[in-house]
Amino acid sequence: MKRFEVLSLALLAVFTAPRAGAQEISNLEGGRPVTVEDAAPIEHGRLSGSFDYAYARRLDGVEYAGPGLSLDYGVLRGFELGAETRYLTNPRLNARRGIGSGDLDVHALASVLAEDARRPGIAVRVDGFLPTGFASHGADFSGTLLATRSFDEFRLHANVGSLYVGDRRPGARRNRLFAAAGIDTPPHGAWDTTTMGVADVVVRQSVLTDGKVSMGLEIGVKRRVGIQTIFFAGLGTEILGERDRARYRGLLGFSHAF
């Protein structure tokens, strides 16, 4: 049997196995601290705000950094609306490199199936990337399918989606597929609901039609530092891809729930 088939059967067995238990720990927000996101929208009536500062250095020597802001609100049970943006500390310099600053990402995240003893949690996320910033390249849209499976001391996550590029430049791909698989766990055992470690693998098609597929590895931690406040930190690198892939990138931030 081919390796791909063996891996597919193993993943199927993991996500369909009976659940051993669930974690009492904060949900994963995409990009804070790593790319992979869980299939649980924020609780109904709750508002969460995040602030972080990120830095990245590419393989070709280009550096960029800046703060990011996000808001998520539980509009209905199992349905979340949110918005986020990121600014660069030197937007004009990065504009000449094709990197925009200040675009607004608005999203809706809806639970399709709640996780129970027989099945993983399933959710759908839709994003609209609006050209509200400096050196914007037009509106883009994405759709993502998210799955989460909980066990006694860890959870597994899978995200698969496609990014539709509205303002396609010559030689660029109109639809860009991406996928992420990750795990989170409390490092001191299931009884510890104050700290969570997380790691993932991210694969993306190149923005160029003849470009190379990129692969990134990320690790992160979330630590409760107040009743409703969480500190998070992440670090990642891309090991495959084009010359402009990230040699390393990291972020530090806080989120607070109301």
DSSP 29-74: BTTBSSS---S-PPPTT-EEEEEEEEEEEETTS-EEEEEEEEEEEE
Give the residue, 18 or 166, on which the prediction is more confident: 166
CATH (domain of 157): 2.40.160.40
State which amino acid sits at residue 92: R
| pLDDT for residue 147 is more than 90 | yes
pTM above 0.75, yes or no: yes
**Is residue 36 within 8 Å of residue 159, measured between CB atoms?**
yes
Q: How far apart are CA 67 and CA 64, in angstroms?
A: 11
pLDDT at res. 182: 98
Structure token digits, residue 120 = 């993983």
**Is residue 244 within 8 Å of residue 225, measured between CB atoms?**
no
Q: Which residue has the tokens 């649980």?
A: 40
Q: Which of 49-53, 115-119, 169-173 has the highest mean pLDDT?
A: 49-53
| pLDDT for residue 3 is more than 50 | no
| pLDDT for residue 202 is more than 90 | yes
The range of the structural domain enclosing residue 183 comes to: 3-257
Helix (H, G, I), strand (E, B) or coil at 10: helix
Neighbour count for residue 45 (Cβ, 10 Å): 11
- Please state the domain count of the chain: 1
pLDDT tens by residue, 208-249: 888 999 999 999 999 999 888 999 999 999 999 998 899 999
Residue 137 pLDDT class (50, 70, 90 cuts)? confident
